[in-house]
Amino acid sequence: PDSASGYSYEECKATADWLLAQAPVRPLVGIVCGSGLGRLAEILKDQLVINYSDIPNFPQSTVHGHAGKLVFGTLKGKPCVCMQGRFHLYEGYPIQKTTMPIRVFKLMGVETVILTNAAGGLNQDFKVGDIMVIKDHINIPGFAGNNPLVGANDERYGVRFPCMSDAYDRDLQQLVHAVAAELDYSAFMQEGVYSVLGGPSFETIAECKMLRLLGADAVGMSTVHEVIVARHCGMRVVALSLITNQAVMDYDSEKKANHEEVLQTGELRAQQMEKLVSTMVSRMELR
């Protein structure tokens, strides 16, 4: 293959330039909204909303609970772009396609990426509605060779073998916790390790136990591939998981993971997520 992205650098650049030509701002912060968290995009001021279907080269979003819109605007005066709806492996895209928008972020000038997702809690201390600041990840699809950087490396983005031990920016993690304390959210803030699976089926009980043994605190179907691509091209990353349900860990449990519960919990915490992210952005030191 002559491109690691599923799209060439030139295609991503053309998309970025097409967007910048109409965007009201040149974004420095890129935000990705998880399942049930799409309302985050609606708090941007002076918005320009563009449907994914109108953007040259853009993949299309297919999931209920995930709109397919790119929203430009400002948060507390800071120029942002927000993906309302992201792309997942389980939708059937090659993994390089799911992360294409992250490279478009980079080529538009974004320096800091804020990723949100809905996740199942594996850590028994976590409660539904907790917000976990991701401090590390376990990339299960990556173990099987499904990594978004597979293929020829384009040096214009980054190196062949990027470091991931510093993937989640420590200063930004501290910022989330500081902002959460100020907002009086500490009671439902957690930190931990996010493990990603391909989905779309939820985990079996044995798989949940395995992930917990491996050191994972939460499990989901997104984010990690975006983090890898963002770090490869040198953007700072901060990521938040909303614990929308407890992963089922024992055979006596009557509980069953389902998408409706995921969306409902999203609704429950939507306002606090919005406040947390917007306050964080307002405190970020940007160029």
Contact status: 134 vs ligand 6GU (CB under 6 A): no
Rounded to whole angstroms, the Cα distance separating 48 from 228 reads: 28
Q: State the DSSP string of 193-228.
A: EEEE---SSPPPHHHHHHHHHTT-SEEESSSHHHHH
Of 100 and 218, the one with the shorter C-beta distance to ligand 6GU is 218
Of 107 and 119, the one with the shorter C-beta distance to ligand 6GU is 119
Contact status: 197 vs ligand 6GU (CB under 6 A): yes
Of 114 and 208, the one with the shorter C-beta distance to ligand 6GU is 208
Pick the catalytic residue from 5, 35, 117, 241.
Answer: 35
- With beta carbons less than 8 A apart as the criterion, state whether 194 and 134 touch: yes
Contact status: 276 vs ligand 6GU (CB under 6 A): no
Rounded to whole angstroms, the Cα distance separating 169 from 150 reads: 24
| Number of other residues whose CB lies within 10 A of the CB of residue 2 | 7
Number of residues counted as binding ligand 6GU (CB under 6 A):
15
Q: How near is the Cβ of 222 to ligand 6GU at its closest, in Å? A: 8
| Site for ligand 6GU, residues 234 to 273, rule: CB under 6 A | 244-245, 247, 257, 262
Rounded to whole angstroms, the Cα distance separating 45 from 170 reads: 28
Contact status: 216 vs ligand 6GU (CB under 6 A): no
- With beta carbons less than 8 A apart as the criterion, state whether 142 and 236 touch: no
Site residues for ligand 6GU per CB under 6 A = 118-120, 197, 199, 202-203, 219-221, 244-245, 247, 257, 262
